[in-house]
Amino acid sequence: MAKEALLELDGVVDEVLPDSRFRVTLENGAIVAAYASGRMRRHRIRILAGDRVRLELSVYDLTKGRINFRHKDEHASTASPRRFVRR
């Protein structure tokens, strides 16, 4: 069987919930619960309230999604660069 197609939609993070979950409002006004993809957790990409994100939704359950991309903000690029800290 072929892998089912996923819906890719853009939205804005409204609230950061416990257990690294998020409440996201989509462009069409729907509110979904989402979690960060493994790639985003592995690279420690931080998601905060107000961030624009791209989600993948299954066609079977449109109330849950996976965040797979965080859009860069224009004002974030003007901030001072962070120093590399080896741990």
Tell me if 86 is assigned to some domain.
no
Give pLDDT, residue 75: 52
Tell me if 87 is assigned to some domain.
no
Backbone angles phi, psi at 16, to 5 degrees: -95, 120
Instruction: Domain count for the chain, please give it.
Output: 1
Tell me if 61 is assigned to some domain.
yes
Q: Which residues of the chain have pLDDT under 70?
A: 1-2, 74-84, 87
Give pLDDT, residue 70: 96
pTM for this prediction: 0.76
C-alpha atoms less than 13 angstroms from C-alpha of 55 in its C-beta half-sphere: 30
45: tokens are 């990409």
Tell me if 46 is assigned to some domain.
yes
CATH code, 31: 2.40.50.140
| Cα–Cα distance, 23 to 32 (Å, whole number) | 6
